[in-house]
Structure formats: structure tokens, C-alpha cells
Amino acid sequence: MINQKRLIQTFIDLVKIDSPSGEEQAIVKNVCQKLEAIGLRSEVDSIGNTYTFIKGMGEAVVLNAHFDTVEPGRNVRPQIKDGIIRSDGKTVLGADNKAALAAILEVIQVLSESTIQHYPIELVLSVKEETESGIKQFDFSHLKSKKGFCFDSSGPIGNLVTQASYITEFHLEVTGKAAHAGIEPEKGINALTAAAKAMAQLSWGRIDKESTANVGLIKGGEAVNTVPRKVELAGDVRSISLQTKNALLGKIEKTFKKEAEILGGEINFGKLPYCEGYVFDQESDLVRQAVEALGKIGKKVKFIQSNGGADANLFNARGIAMLNFGYGARNIHTVAEEISVENLSLLARLVLELII
């Protein structure tokens, strides 16, 4: 079955290949070669998203992972000590998401060597997940599957994302009028005052159990002795409820507009559709299948709500029910990132249970 030694070696090999977001060419090539070696042809799109079909019986399922890693992620030197795999402390390890990638590759290898019956697999490996969600450019019309699994939720194996937030990034420009602050300040319209008044009236941070709002970027002003003509703010609003998310955005826009107009200024409010949320019924067949697979590897499920974006959001938005599992790494996106050999093996066993 799962060959732990080979799995670890695959993982080590993968993390040693530099693949910061947007620079995935080498790892795409390496993985395609690995698949080719077991007789599987892959299609790579113009940015590097990779599709591989593995024949099987019954309804097809998508297995998904992403190739890219965050910085500092170059020249990763993995080391294994007391059953834990870490970097040398200068870079991330890249278990996000190469633990999933290694586990999936191991399972595909196992299937190629055995007569185990399994579902047809559509392997979709994405690029730029950490930055601009490269999966957006993938041709979903390719896919036969109605469901799928990915392993890109931080946290222990057993975690299962059944709710993910709708997230919208907004950009706000408050425009007033510049004037010399010492000579004729009354001729100016202070954009910062309007923005500050609006900020103070609104709620930020955790709004309720399922929603958050934040302004994270502030820019503005021209000189210490000039009434600030323009202030730019950018932030995001997140909620499991699409309605709440939209209501929060509406309130932000309205409040800034009101405060700008009181002073004689104006605003420009722009929104980017960042990612779509989803909610799974915990009694649905797919969730039951996931819980059962976790049970088989000795893990109790913990349903969680995700407030970040992942490929799963996009699959779900495109009509493929995609469940996102915890993959058992710790301290991800830091140089202290680590995963145990035990979790790496458990992850491979989980992948196998899900497709047989």
C-alpha cells in the first residue's frame, strides 16, 4: 500500500524545487515527468495549471493541490529529526501544499502498481494559488467530475472545511480639495478628516460570528503644509453570508460618501470580486463520504469555517463540490513550518480512502 519511504522521498524532492508563486515551471515539469513515468499524460495550460486523467470505475472525482509556495521559499533545505520534517529555519518548508502534492502522487503510484478499484481521477494542480488564484484561468469545461477533494486547509488532519467566506476586496478614494494649510486652510477640503470620521462610525475587525471587515492600506496627503486632497484606503470584507458581506460593503460605501459630502468632497468606491464562499450541508453524501474516510484512518472529523480563500472556493463557485481537508502541517507560511512523517503518511492514506 502506501510506501512511506517513497512518500517522504517524493516530498523531500518536491520541496527542494523552488516554486514561489509565478515561478512554477520547474516543479510543473518535474511532476509531469513523474506522471509520465507511470504512463500518464498531462495537459499544462498557458500559465502552468496542470490536468491529468487517471482512468477508474464510477463517478469521476477531482483531486486538487497547488504547486506554488510563499516566500521565503527558495533553496529549501528540508531536514528530518525525530519524525518531524522542517526547513533549516531560513525558508518555509512548503508543506503548503507539497504535502498534499506528495500524498496524491504516492496514491497515484500505488494505484498504478496494484489492481485496487478506484474512481476515475481528474488531477488538477494549480499555480499562483497564494497570490492571484491561478486556478481562475483553468478551463473548467474540461472536467467531468461533480465533486472533488483538496488538502489545503491549515490545521490537523481531521479538519474539514464545510463553510468558507465570501470575500470582497474594496478600494476607496476620498477626494477633497488641497489648500495651503497655513495661509488659507479654509479653502481646503480635508479628505483625511472625512475618511477618519467615516472610519470611526463603522465597525471593524470581527463583526459577528461569521463576518469580518478590515482596512489594511492607507495612503494619502501631499505635504505637511497642505490640506490633504486625497486619501486612498483598501481593505476587505468577509462573511459566510453573502447577504451580510454585501450589507457591510454597502454600509462602508454609504458612510464614506456621507462624510465626504458633508465636507464638500466625494468618493470613488471600487470592489474586486476576490473569491466566492460556500456552505456544505453536514448531512450531504459528500460530507458523509469525507467523514467515513477520516474514520478509516482513525481521525475524528472537526467541521470548520474558513475565512481565507483557496482553490476550493473557485471549484465550488464553478459547480464542482470541493471539500477542503486539513493536511496536518504546522506554522505554515513561516520559517518554522513543519509536518510530521506520521501526518504525511496519514494524508496519503486519506487520499487513498477518498478515491476507492
**Interacting residues toward Zn ion by CB under 5 A:** 96-97, 152
Which residue lies nearer to Zn ion by CB, 152 or 236?
152
Annotated catalytic residue: which of 129, 236, 259, 338? 129
36: annotated active-site residue? no
Enumerate the known binding-site residues.
Answer: 66
- Measured from the CB of residue 98, what is the shortest distance to Zn ion in angstroms? 9
Which residue lies nearer to Zn ion by CB, 102 or 207?
102
Determine the number of helices (DSSP H) and then strands (DSSP E) in the chain: 8, 18
Q: Provide the 10 A C-beta neighbour count for residue 137.
A: 15
User: Which alpha helices (H) appear in the chain, and where do they start and end?
Assistant: 4-15, 25-37, 95-113, 191-201, 242-262, 285-296, 311-317, 341-355
Q: Which residue has the cell 497564494?
A: 130
Instruction: Give the bridge partners for 61, in sequence order.
Output: 121, 147
Which residue lies nearer to Zn ion by CB, 158 or 326?
326
Which residue lies nearer to Zn ion by CB, 52 or 97?
97
- Measured from the CB of residue 310, what is the shortest distance to Zn ion in angstroms? 7
CA distance linking residue 63 with residue 284, whole number of Å? 19
DSSP 197: H
Which residue lies nearer to Zn ion by CB, 129 or 173?
129
Enumerate the known binding-site residues for Zn(2+).
Answer: 66
Q: Are 137 and 69 in contact (CB under 8 A)?
A: no
Helix axes 341-355, 95-113, angle to 10 degrees: 50
Q: Which residue has the cell 466566492?
A: 276
285: annotated active-site residue? no
- Measured from the CB of residue 212, what is the shortest distance to Zn ion in angstroms? 20
- Measured from the CB of residue 97, what is the shortest distance to Zn ion in angstroms? 4
CA distance linking residue 128 with residue 148, whole number of Å? 20
Q: Which residue has the cell 487517471?
A: 54
Q: Are 314 and 124 in contact (CB under 8 A)?
A: no
Q: Which residue has the cell 477520516?
A: 294
Burial, 31: exposed, middle or buried (Cβ in 10 Å; 0-12, 13-18, 19+)? Answer: buried
- Measured from the CB of residue 220, what is the shortest distance to Zn ion in angstroms? 34
Tell me which residues are annotated as active site.
Answer: 68, 129
